[in-house]
Amino acid sequence: MTAVSGTYGCRLAQRRKLELWLAEWRAYRAIAAVPFLERPVTAGCLGVNVRDVGVDAAPGAGQVPDVGQVRLLRPGCMDMERTRPVYVAVLRQTGGTSWMVVPFGRFADPAIPGELRTGLRALPLRVLCVWNAHVMTQEALARAWLCRKIAAGLVTRGLTVWRHISEGAVLDRDLIPRVGPPLEHPLDPRHAYVQEERELLDVHIGFERPEVVPRSEAFYAIPEPEFRRAAERRGEYGRDDGAE
């Protein structure tokens, strides 16, 4: 009985997490539907507040990359409708001149198990997208703006989540509430979100030709079009409107 109750409580917690993320997703999509020049210019809309993050006035400035650094990547293009400021955290050195970096997400709530709530107050730094890890060269990182450093404990938690999604390591109990809910349903909008985030990082650092960290088997591939067409017509995913 206790085990059943515990499982039910876990599902309720996961549903609550999903509801929080879906609310942010719908708001983001509503803003995205408005022509770019007509959108309200606010820190929340743009997903950035440089005063909170503490961006330096000049890129890199000769600063050597180091574990725990937060860097603001240089824009990969000038199309502001397709890009946004992207901050990455340096989690570890992977070679003599290469570093594993993971981007921070666009929302305040984690979307999937590979995203970690950081506990940081700055809006652009609230969620760490560990699943979207890349390897960047020291030269490429030096061209990014140095913002600040995060605590060693947060670096450790990020690497723990990486081992969880890439190697199947058991996630620490205290980290479970800080990661997103599982991604399973083929109509879940988080599939589109994952694809957009991957493409966004390519826009910013694709021209650097980074070595991409292998993707984890813990994440589901976006279903083929035939699979999508096989689904019955229904209401919007996540809304309890009686549709099945």
What's the distance, CA 126 to chain centroid?
10
pLDDT band with cut points at 50, 70 and 90 for residue 238: low
pTM beyond 0.75: no
Q: How many residues does the chain have?
A: 244
Distance CA 93, CA 235 (A): 46
Domains of the chain, residue spans: 2-220
Distance CA 93, CA 137 (A): 10
pLDDT score of 39 more than 60 = no
Q: What is the pLDDT of residues 133-179, one digit of tens each?
A: 998 988 888 888 899 999 999 999 999 999 999 999 999 889 999 99
Q: What is the pLDDT of residues 85-109, one digit of tens each?
A: 889 999 999 988 899 999 999 899 9
Instruction: Let me know: does 183 contact 191? Beta carbons within 8 Å.
Output: yes
Segment 8-37 mean pLDDT: 75
Residue 39 Cα distances to 22, 28, 81, 107, 155, angstroms: 21, 11, 11, 18, 35
pLDDT score of 123:
85
* Angle at the Cα of 88 from the Cα atoms of 96 and 124, rounded to 5 degrees: 165
Query: What is the percent of the chain with per-residue pLDDT over 90, rounded to a whole number?
Result: 32
